Amino acid sequence: MAVSKDDQALYLAIDQGGHASRALVFDARGHCYAQAEVAIATHAPVPSQVEHSPAEMVASVRAACEQVLLQLGEAAARVRAAGLATQRSSMVCWDRRTGQTLTPVISWQDTRAEEFVATLSAQTEMMRQKTGLFANAHYGASKMSWCLQHLPAVAQAAERGDLVMGPLASYLLFALLEERPLLADPANAQRTLLMDVQVQRWDDELLSLFGLNRAWLPTLVDCRFDFGHLQLGQWRIPLTVCTGDQSAALFAEGAPQSDCWYANLGTGGFVQRLCDDAQFAPRHLHSVVYSDGAQRWRVLEGTVNGAARALDWLAQQHPGVDWRNQLEGWLQVYTEPGLFVNQVSGLGSPFWRAQGRSYFQGAATIPQQFVAVLESIVFLLNHNMHGMVGQSTPGRVLLSGGLARSDGLCQRLADLAQLPVHRLHQHEATARGLAYLLAGLPEFSWQTSNFDFFSPRKNDIFRAGYSRFLAQIQ
C-alpha cells in the first residue's frame, strides 16, 4: 500500500478508549494540529459485568472526528488518511445483514465468563503456545461463548447465518466505514484468544474449545490495509491503519527501542518492551503490536487492570471529594499512607486472577486512601517490569497516558525501579503512535516530543511499602 510522501499531509488518529473517544490530527513529523474528545458512559449492571452502548460509542467517534475537522478549517483538505486504535479485549456481536447490534460493547474489564474459563485449565498451555496469552475471562472468546449461550438474539442470528462476533475494532470499522467491512487486525484479533499468533489465522482447535464457528468471525488482515472510507461531512477519508490502543502507544516516539520500557497509564496500565522471544517471561504476554505484510513488531507485555479504574472505584465511594485537584498535594504530604491491595477489575500479569477483594491496610483517611491506590499502581508496574527483565534490562522508562500527569506517580516509579523516567508532554501516546504508523513509519522526519525527566532517588520508605504490598498480594 502506498503511503503519502506529501509534506503537507495530515493524519487523523482515532483513539477509542474506556472513558472517551478522541480524535487528533498530526503531520508526518509528529506535530499535533488539532484534537477533540467526547466522553462515553460505562455501565456495570452487576460487579462482574462492564459494558458500553454501541450506539453511543459510534456517535462519540463521529462527533470527535467532526469536531477536529471543524477546528482544522481549510486545512482539513490536507487529511490524507485516518487510523483507528481501540480497547483490544472488548467485543461486540451484531447482525451482518441489518447492522443491528445484538449485545452491548462488552468491555475488556468484564469477567462474566470467569467460571467457564476456569473449566479450561487443562488447555492453558496449549492456548499460551498458540496465542501468546494466558486463558483469562478478560479476553474475547469466553465472552463470545457466553453471549451465544445466554442471549437469544445472538443464538438466533447464528441460526440464520447472520451473526458476526468480533473485537470492538471490527465493529467500529463496520459501523463507521462506507464499505461496511468485516475485518480484524492481528493486534485486536489476538485478544480474542482465537488467533494463532505464529501464522496470524483463526485457529480451529481454539474455536472448537469455545464452541464458536469461524464463519461468525471477521476476516483477518494486516494492521495496514485498505479498510474503507470515513464520510465526515464533505470529507471522504480512507482508513488505512487499525490496531490496539496500547499497541499504537508503543510508537509515540517513532520506532520503539530495545533499551526502553514503555508504560502507558489509562483505565488500565500497560508496560511493554521489544522482544522476539517470550520464553524468559513465562507469566507475561507475547503481543503483536503491528504488521503490514513486510514487517511485524512484537513485545513482551505486562498488564495492570486497576489503574485509573481503581481511582474511579474509590471516587465512586466518596462522590463529594475533589480528588483530581488534590491528589498531587496529598502525595507530597503522605509518604506512608498505608497499603491498598489493588484487585480492581481483577489482577492481570503475572497473577492472572479475574476476581479478588480489594482492601486497605492502615489507610485511615480519604486522602491516605487515594495515595495508597496510586502507589499500588506503581507497585504493580514495577513488579511486572521485574518479571520481564530476562538477560537484559532496559535503562529507562518512557511514561505516557492520563495518569502520567501525576508528578508524584512518576517520581515514585523512578525511585522504585531505580531508573530514569521520561514523561511525554503529549499524553495522548496512542494517537501520536497511530499517526506515526499512518505516516508510514518515517525513519528520519519524526521529531521527538518534549519530556519531563524524573531521576531515581533513594526512597527506603517507599521500597519497604512495596515489600509489604507484595507479601499481601501474592
Same domain assignment for residues 239 and 284:
no
In a domain, 227, yes or no: yes
Same domain assignment for residues 297 and 189:
no
- Give the model confidence (pLDDT) of 339-379 as tens digits: 999 999 889 999 988 888 999 999 999 999 999 999 999 99
In a domain, 435, yes or no: no
**pLDDT surpasses 90 at 389:** no
In a domain, 2, yes or no: no
Same domain assignment for residues 416 and 277:
yes
Q: In the prediction, which pLDDT does 391 show? A: 66
Q: How much is the mean pLDDT over the chain? A: 94
C-beta of residue 32 within 8 angstroms of C-beta of residue 432: yes
C-beta of residue 323 within 8 angstroms of C-beta of residue 232: no
In a domain, 434, yes or no: no
Q: Which residue has the cell 469536531?
A: 67
Q: Which residue has the cell 496529598?
A: 330
Same domain assignment for residues 289 and 225:
no
Q: In the prediction, which pLDDT does 2 show? A: 47
Q: In the prediction, which pLDDT does 445 show? A: 84
Percent of the chain with pLDDT over 90: 87
Same domain assignment for residues 200 and 326:
no
Distance of CA 241 to the CA centre of its chain: 16
What total number of domains does the chain contain? 2
**pLDDT surpasses 70 at 4:** no
Size of the chain, expressed as the number of residues it contains: 474
In a domain, 430, yes or no: no
Phi, psi dihedral angles at 389 (to 5 degrees): -70, -55
- Which whole-number Å values give the CA distances from 205 to 40, 69, 132, 159, 471, in the listed order? 36, 45, 15, 22, 39
**Residue 148: which of 199, 97, 91, 100 has the closest Cα?**
91
Pairing of strands 195-196, 201-202: antiparallel
Same domain assignment for residues 455 and 346:
yes
Give the domain-ending residue among 244, 265, 289.
244
In a domain, 55, yes or no: yes
Residue 305: how many other CB atoms lie within 10 Å: 26
392 class by beta-carbon count within 10 Å (0-12 exposed, 13-18 middle, 19+ buried): exposed
In a domain, 141, yes or no: yes
pLDDT band at 428 (very low <50, low <70, confident <90, very high): confident
pLDDT band at 425 (very low <50, low <70, confident <90, very high): confident
Q: How far apart are CA 60 and CA 390, in angstroms?
A: 42
Same domain assignment for residues 263 and 232:
no
Same domain assignment for residues 236 and 299:
no
- For 412, the 3-state DSSP assignment is helix
**pLDDT surpasses 70 at 63:** yes
Q: At what angle do helices 366-387 and 407-417 cross, to 10 degrees?
A: 40
Which three cell numbers, joined as nine digits, stand for 325?
A: 485537584
**What's the whole-number mean pLDDT along residues 139-167?**
98
**pLDDT surpasses 70 at 451:** yes
- Give the model confidence (pLDDT) of 197-243 as tens digits: 999 999 999 999 999 999 999 999 999 999 999 999 999 999 999 99
CATH number at 210 reads: 3.30.420.40
- Give the model confidence (pLDDT) of 265-321 as tens digits: 998 999 999 987 545 678 899 999 999 988 889 999 999 999 999 999 999 999 999
Q: How far apart are CA 413 and CA 468, in angstroms?
A: 16
Same domain assignment for residues 260 and 385:
yes
Give the domain-ending residue among 184, 214, 244.
244
Q: At what angle do helices 168-176 and 54-72 cross, to 10 degrees?
A: 60
C-beta of residue 287 within 8 angstroms of C-beta of residue 187: yes
Provide the residue range defining the domain that includes 145.
10-244
Q: How far apart are CA 474 and CA 471, in angstroms?
A: 6
Same domain assignment for residues 22 and 133:
yes
Same domain assignment for residues 221 and 94:
yes
Pairing of strands 79-86, 235-244: parallel
Count of alpha carbons within 13 Å of 148, Cβ hemisphere only?
A: 17
Give the domain-ending residue among 223, 244, 265.
244
Same domain assignment for residues 57 and 204:
yes
In a domain, 431, yes or no: no
Q: In the prediction, which pLDDT does 280 show? A: 63
